[in-house]
Amino acid sequence: MKHICITIGMAMILILPFTAQAGQASPSILADACAACHGSDGKSPSTIPSIQGKSLDYMVQRLMAFKSGKREGTVMNRIAKGYSDAEIAAIAKYLASK
């Protein structure tokens, strides 16, 4: 499972520049990438942390910490660096509303 998540994460990093050029993606499309590791409903089926029920502030703080390198993760640092601050806010808002 860990290998699959790393592979998916790396693929996401590689396609992010192309999706950014195509225009602003909706928050739900951006957040769909999270389901690969965190589960389609935000309840992770493995040791990967669940994100269901987390607050907007929690999600923004965690994602920004991954992006800045203040928080370490297996692939989350690389994934978060691929998003703008506005995209992180949109993803966090979308996920917190679920």
pLDDT in tens, 44-80: 888 899 999 999 999 999 999 999 999 988 899 999 9
Distances (CA, A) of 33 to 9, 10, 70, 89: 8, 11, 22, 15
Query: Using CA atoms, how far apart are residues 98 and 85, in angstroms rounded to an integer?
Result: 20
Structure-model confidence comparison of residues 53 and 17, the more confident one? 53
- The CATH number of the structural domain formed by 2-96 is 1.10.760.10
For residue 45, the model assigns a pLDDT of 82
Structure-model confidence comparison of residues 16 and 59, the more confident one? 59
For residue 98, the model assigns a pLDDT of 81
Q: What is the pTM for the complete model shown?
A: 0.72
